[in-house]
């Protein structure tokens, strides 16, 4: 009987040991936070969100040994008088403080036009990625990169961004100063490039395309079906809570809106 007990003991702890090891990265992610600097309430949610609470989760994660990556999938602008009065500078200043490393652009980032966007991105201490747009605005075209490659210990992470077709979402002047490219065609080039040329271990797409169930529309699900080599899609735009969505082997996550939640993803290296 005794050896069975020992065996059981080992059996219980083996998985725990496996889980405890090989953790190479923690990702904290947000989307569609919409200038909600302070906690807010609506019909459904009471007293949720706010930058201070988000910051306390991020700070706790910073204290862990595992490398941390904080990302946002766009639309951090617009939604409260903070945006209207301070033109989006307050959000960026505090995203700097919270330790965001990469963000993509949402349609609402363009609400005050491309000149204003470029001026305030000048104050961002995090990378802005968007691979499927060309900007006629010279400065903006330099500020927004298609992708970045980050190194966390010996892990190479490729992060690129995608943005929904802006037609109908922003004013005509902005449409005229941008060129939209098909996100799937762009991803089919950039993902193999990041994997093979840049030797990325992990490929993350920050997507402000939205998630739709309809396969006819370009969205995170059609993207995942077409480009299965993406590891994680951190999505946004459609304000939909997606937690356990895996399409074609691609993990797709999205939170609702207003920063009521923050998502946490732990990446572990599999044992060979």
Partner 1 sequence: MKNNIVQVIFLPIVFLILLIFPIMVSAQKDKPFEIERATILLDSTYDSKIESPITQKIAYYRELLSAEMDVVIAQCSETLASYEPASPLSNLLTDLLFDYGDRYMREQGVEKTGVSLLNFGGIRNVMPQGNVTVSDIYKIAPFENRVVIITIKGSELKKVFNRFTEKRNQPYSQLEMIYFNNKPDKITINGKSINDNDEYHLVTVDFIQNGGDAILKDVEFVKVAETNELLRDVLVEEIKKITTAGKIITPVKDNRVIIRPQF
Interface residues with partner 1 (CB under 8 A)? 1, 4, 7-8, 11-12, 14-15, 18-19, 24, 37-39, 47-57, 59, 78, 81-82, 84-86, 90, 93-94, 97-98, 111, 171-172, 201-202, 228, 231-232, 241, 243, 246, 249, 251, 253, 255, 259-270
Q: Quick one: 118 or 132, whose CB is closer to partner 1? A: 118
For the CB of residue 189, give the shortest distance to partner 1 in the complex, in Å: 21
Between β-strands 178-180 and 147-152, what pairing exists: parallel, antiparallel or unpaired? unpaired
Between β-strands 133-135 and 178-180, what pairing exists: parallel, antiparallel or unpaired? antiparallel
15: left (phi over 0), alpha (psi -120 to 50) or beta: alpha
For the CB of residue 35, give the shortest distance to partner 1 in the complex, in Å: 11
Q: Quick one: 29 or 127, whose CB is closer to partner 1? A: 29
SS3 94: helix
- Residue 86 sits at the vertex; the CA angle it makes with 28 and 239, to the nearest 5 degrees, is 40
> Rounded to an integer, what is the distance from CA 153 to the centroid of its chain?
21
Instruction: Name the residue among 137, 53, 49, 134 with its Cα closest to residue 98.
Output: 53
Residue at token pair 């949610």 = 45
């Amino acid at each position: 009987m005794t050896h069975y007990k020992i065996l059981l003991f080992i059996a219980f702890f083996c998985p725990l040991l496996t889980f405890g090891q090989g953790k190479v990265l923690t990702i904290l992610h947000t989307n569609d936070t919409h200038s909600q600097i302070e906690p807010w309430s609506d019909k459904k949610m009471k007293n949720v969100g706010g930058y201070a609470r988000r910051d306390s989760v991020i700070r706790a994660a910073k204290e862990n040994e595992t490398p941390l990556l904080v990302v946002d999938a766009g639309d951090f602008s617009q939604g409260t008088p903070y945006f209207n009065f301070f033109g989006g500078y307050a959000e960026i200043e505090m995203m700097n403080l919270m330790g965001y490393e990469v963000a993509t652009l949402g349609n609402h980032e363009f609400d005050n036009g491309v000149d204003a966007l470029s001026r305030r991105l000048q104050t961002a201490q995090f990378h802005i990625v968007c691979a499927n747009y060309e900007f006629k605005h010279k400065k903006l075209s330099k500020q927004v990169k298609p992708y970045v490659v980050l190194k966390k210990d010996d892990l190479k992470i490729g992060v690129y961004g995608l943005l929904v077709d802006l037609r109908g979402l922003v004013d005509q002047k902005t449409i005229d100063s941008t060129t939209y490219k098909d996100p799937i065609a762009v991803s089919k080039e950039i993902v193999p490039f990041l994997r093979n040329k840049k030797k990325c271990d992990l490929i993350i797409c920050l997507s402000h395309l939205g998630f739709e169930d309809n396969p006819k529309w370009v969205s995170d699900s059609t993207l995942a079906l077409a480009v299965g080599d993406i590891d994680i899609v951190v999505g946004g735009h459609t304000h939909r809570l997606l937690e356990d969505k895996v399409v074609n082997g691609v993990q797709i996550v999205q939170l609702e809106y207003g920063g009521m939640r923050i998502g946490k993803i732990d990446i572990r290296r599999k044992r060979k």
